[in-house]
Structures are given as structure tokens and as C-alpha cells.
Amino acid sequence: MSKPRMVRRFSAVVRVSHWLYALSFITLAVTGYMIYGSALDWMIPLFGSLEGAMVVHRVAAVFLIMAVLIPILMRPREVTAWLGEVFTFTEADIAFLKTFPAKFVGVKKKIPPQGFYNGGEKINSLIQIISGVVMITTGLFMWLSSSPPPIMYPLHALFMAIGSASAIGHIYLALLNPISNEAIRAMINGDVSEKYMQENHGQWYQEVYKAAPKGKRSN
């Protein structure tokens, strides 16, 4: 059997930043919940004490901010391409969202041709961008100001809950959903099969990839 032709999807810098952000985010969600609630109190011994969990929360926040800054400084064109796409919602995205419930439960449906990101990935991106900005801003206020405005506390908790809900759906789709789990290759090795891009990102495949001169076809 001949090997499938591969298409580059994410650079190494973006992949490392994604995983750094993901690990920091999960650590922040767990330690943050320990500070607000009591259901995770059984984890306190892992951090020595609640104060230990609060120190880990701040260290993870520094790593999360680094995960945002690294691609902005090292791959600005990839970041602006991502932002440009996710802030432009098209009819194709709405058509994708109509097929999304079937995809979510693992039923394969023909999807309308999508750009580099599909409608669902755009919504996940928007939620993570907005909640990331709010959490970083409110978190820095609470950390660095001697009298932070009281609104910072509920805002920080609310956007952590919104970001976490979207992250849980995203992790399910990436790891467990049989339809979308080829995407995981893109975030580990950086590439996916040309067939995958044709089927899942048909508009990008035709209008950007196929339209580019052969030597310049990588992302």
C-alpha cells in the first residue's frame, strides 16, 4: 500500500505552545478549583498544603502567559492567520455547526467545505481567546494589585468555568471521538493526510493549498 501524501498543519512552535498552554490550563483549573471549592480537597496532600497549591497556581499562570507570548513572538504570521480566521464567521461555519451534533456523537456526515479551521474549532478558539484574556487580566490584577477591584474575583471564576467547559468538549473530540481524532496527529507530528484535509477542510484545500505553486504548498 502506498504511503498517504501528508500536509503540514501546525509548526513546531505552535504545537509546543499548544501543549504548554494545555498543561498550564489544566493545572490552573485544578489548583484554582481547590482555592474556590472543596470537592478536590483530597488532592491537597499532593501540593503539601493549600498554600502549596496556590504557589503552583501562580507558577502555572506564568507558563500559560509564556505559551501565549512564544507564538506571538516567534510565529506572528501563523497567529495572525489563526486570529483572522476565527474572527471571520462564514455561512460554511454555520452549515458545519448544523452537522456538529451528529459528529459529536460519532455519526459521520458529509460536511460542507471548511476553511483552515472548521466552525466548531472557531468557536472553541473564540471561547479560549476571550476567557484567556479575561483570566490573565483579572489574575494579574489579583496577584499584583494591593486592592484589586472586587469584580475581578467573580470574573476570574466565571471565565475559568466557561474555558474549562469548552476545553472538556475539545479534549473529548480530540481524544475519544472517532470522527475527529486524526486531528491529534496534526498537534503531535504537525501533519495530517492530504485526504483528511480534503474531507475536513475542503475550502482551504482547494482555495489555498491547491492554488499555491507546488514548492510553496506547506503551511
Q: Which residues of the chain form contacts with ligand HEM (CB under 6 A)?
A: 9, 18, 21-22, 25-26, 117, 121, 124-125, 128, 163, 167, 170-171, 174-175, 183-184, 186-187
Separation of alpha carbons 160 and 153, rounded Å: 11
Q: Which of 127, 131, 25 is nearest to 86 (CA)?
A: 127
Q: Which grid coordinates are listed for 9?
A: 498543519
Q: Which grid coordinates are listed for 197?
A: 484535509
Least Cβ distance, residue 51 to ligand HEM (angstroms): 25
Helix extents (H) in 88-151: 91-104, 119-144
> Is the Cβ of residue 35 or residue 175 nearer to ligand HEM in the bound state?
175
Looking from the CA of 123 toward its CB, the CA atoms found within 13 Å total: 12
Phi-psi sector, 48: left (phi>0), alpha (psi -120 to 50), beta = left
Place of cell 471565565: 159
> Is the Cβ of residue 53 or residue 123 nearer to ligand HEM in the bound state?
123
> Is the Cβ of residue 53 or residue 114 nearer to ligand HEM in the bound state?
114
Q: Which grid coordinates are listed for 137?
A: 487580566
> Is the Cβ of residue 50 or residue 176 nearer to ligand HEM in the bound state?
176
3-state helix, strand, coil split of the chain in percent (to 5) is 70, 5, 25
> Is the Cβ of residue 33 or residue 117 nearer to ligand HEM in the bound state?
117
Least Cβ distance, residue 19 to ligand HEM (angstroms): 8
